[in-house]
Amino acid sequence: MNDVNVAKNIEEQQTYNVEEVAAILRVSYHTALKIIKNGDIKSLKVGKQYRVTKSELNKLLQKDEQGG
């Protein structure tokens, strides 16, 4: 794997917490948490915190743009 692919892979694995997801989606913290808990976006639970990868957040945004 070359350096460009490694850098892109690392960037795609970046994670966001619920507060960051809310800011990116421009919704409240509670709405972002609801989206995550409903399974509308795949997430990881680390301890008591949810984490969403950049790639999963991008999938949600693309789905929304396509009217899904």
Please tell me the pTM assigned to this model: 0.77
DSSP strand E in the chain: where? 15-16, 44-46, 49-53
pLDDT band at 66 (very low <50, low <70, confident <90, very high): confident
Mean pLDDT estimate for the chain: 86
pLDDT digits (tens, 9 = 90+) for 35-56: 999 999 999 999 999 999 999 9
Burial class for 40, CB neighbours closer than 10 Å (0-12, 13-18, 19+): exposed
Domains and CATH numbers, the chain: 3-65 (1.10.10)
